[in-house]
């Protein structure tokens, strides 16, 4: 199992146990299935956020590679979920105020801002030369 998947799994359970709910960020691929429901077009492009809370069936099966099998409800319909370990993007919790995103998923790095972005942000920069440290 990849180290980041192992950390993600531990953090997932720690947050769920301590705060009662946790969100799992999932990327779309042909290796991951969301029962008969599948992924919508928007979810194929942006990914899917799965919610685990005290109403969720807590029978989750993580295999040795870090793949996840579980049953989740979408409205009144229950779906068998299989998430491939490479499609697990991260864990977040608003209640805990934490977010863990994997960097080893193989996605392209974000484009760096262009030279115009530096000029646009120049008005937001405050010079520290006008401030002096006060002696106490």
Q: What is the reported pLDDT for 108?
A: 41
The answer, as to whether pTM is greater than 0.75, is: no
Q: Please report whether residue 67 resides in a domain.
A: yes
Q: What is the reported pLDDT for 110?
A: 41
Give the torsion through C-alpha atoms of 93, 14, 21, 18, to 10 deg. Answer: -100
Between CA 74 and CA 39 the distance in angstroms is: 12
Q: Please report whether residue 119 resides in a domain.
A: no
Looking at the structure of the chain, the number of domains it has is 1
Q: Please report whether residue 134 resides in a domain.
A: no
Q: Please report whether residue 99 resides in a domain.
A: yes
Q: What is the reported pLDDT for 78?
A: 87
Q: Please report whether residue 128 resides in a domain.
A: no
Give the torsion through C-alpha atoms of 103, 47, 82, 41, to 10 deg. Answer: -150
What's the chain's average pLDDT?
A: 79
Q: Residue 77 belongs to a domain with what CATH number?
A: 2.30.30.220
User: For residue 16, which phi and psi values (nearest 5 degrees)?
Assistant: -60, -45
């Amino acid at each position: 199992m990849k180290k980041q998947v192992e950390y993600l799994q531990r953090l997932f359970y720690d947050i769920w146990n301590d705060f009662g709910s946790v969100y799992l960020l999932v990327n779309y691929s042909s290796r991951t299935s969301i029962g008969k429901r599948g992924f919508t077009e928007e979810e194929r492009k942006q990914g899917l956020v799965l919610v685990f809370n005290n109403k969720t069936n807590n029978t989750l099966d993580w295999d040795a590679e870090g793949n996840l099998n579980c049953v989740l409800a979408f409205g009144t319909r229950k779906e068998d979920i299989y998430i491939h370990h490479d499609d697990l993007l991260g864990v977040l919790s608003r209640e805990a105020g934490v977010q863990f995103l994997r960097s080893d998923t193989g996605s392209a790095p974000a484009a760096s801002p262009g030279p115009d972005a530096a000029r646009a942000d120049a008005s937001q920069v405050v010079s520290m030369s006008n401030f002096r440290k006060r002696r106490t």
